[in-house]
Amino acid sequence: PPPQIPRTLSEVDNGKLLGFGADLAEDHPGFKDAGYKKRRQDIGHLARGHEVGEPIPYLEYTPEEVRVWGTVLRELRQLYPSHACKEYLSTFPLFDFKEDIVPQLEDMAKILRQTSGWQIRPVAGLLHPRDFLNGLAFKCFHSTQYIRHPSRPNYTPEPDLVHEILGHVPMLANPVFCDLVHQIGLASLGANESQIWHLTKLYWYTVEFGVVREAGDIKAFGAGVLSSFGELKHMASGTPALEPFDPFMKQPKMSYKDGYQKRYFVLDSFEDGASKLRDYCASITSPELIKEWRAHQSL
Ligand code: H2B
Ligand code: FE
């Protein structure tokens, strides 16, 4: 049967999880920590119960969670001026991050509403790719709300709040970047399984691990790079290969268990990236489908 196309954001299932989303495995730093698992599960439970349109529940983070957030923020903040793209640097101050306060998703969502019009929906872990990508068509970013295990503040094998907030949120306040992300989302509506997999890779090599050229240098805009001290330095070290981003090309294999990227795909600008993705996406979607879908949106 052809895939269902959600007509409203509520129809996008935020409960189908992959990998650690479902259960922690041996290679997760929190695997042997019953207290951590319970905390992660309780926060996930709140996400599952969240209704679109309702405010995202405020969480009281523990002193240990605050320490993890503060440690990561303190270290990354030193690298941003030299390693992050100018769009990131320009929206970052809007959020007024403090080392002793874990940001609340609802407060981040309010700022996005005013800057780009995007929304945030809480989710309990790594979401199924089709659902995650379909969310982007609604200008919605599904975000986790739990924090990585305190034994390894600089590492997480799955998305966590620190990655979402330092990696994704400031970029999602930039309308041109949002246009690029939106193209991937629109193309996922009604896409077949192999197209979903290709779009997943396009998402991975741009939104997660993309870099952009700035006056002869390369700067990070991908959230996986921006949220990792080690990967930011690796990106700028001159070691990894750099290739122009071309969405029509067969994209290399990727895995959540890869270490630092051996190769980055480079955009000349977000306008350029958005326009390339628009062309690619137009090649796999029918304009009628999108038009009909959009018409339902305004009902
Ligand atoms: N789920 C969550 N919660 N965060 C992500 O960044 C994410 C996801 N990325 N599901 C998706 C999958 C990505 O790997 C692509 C689009 O499938
Ligand atoms: Fe991410």
pLDDT digits (tens, 9 = 90+) for 42-64: 999 999 999 999 999 999 999 99
Copy the structure tokens of residue 70.
Answer: 């503060």
Q: What is the pTM of this model?
A: 0.95
Helix (H) or strand (E) holding 218: strand 217-220
Q: For ligand 1, say whether the CB of 251 is within 6 Å of any of its atoms.
A: no
pLDDT digits (tens, 9 = 90+) for 74-104: 999 999 999 999 999 999 999 999 999 999 9
Provide the residue count of the chain: 299
pLDDT digits (tens, 9 = 90+) for 97-110: 999 999 999 999 99
The pLDDT of residue 273 is above 70: yes
ipTM of the assembly? 0.93
Q: For ligand 1, say whether the CB of 156 is within 6 Å of any of its atoms.
A: no
Q: What are phi and psi of 34, to 5 degrees?
A: -60, -40
Ligand nearest to the CA of 131: 1
106-113's contacts with Cβ under 8 Å and 24+ in sequence apart are 106/55, 106/56, 106/57, 106/58, 108/165, 108/169, 109/56, 111/173, 112/169, 112/172, 112/173
For the segment 224-229, the average pLDDT, to the nearest whole number, is 97
> Which residue's alpha carbon is at the smallest distance from atom 15 of ligand 1?
200
Q: For ligand 1, say whether the CB of 203 is within 6 Å of any of its atoms.
A: yes
One-letter amino acid for residue 289 of the chain: L
27 or 12, higher pLDDT: 12
Close Cβ partners of 295 (under 8 Å, ≥ 6 residues apart): none
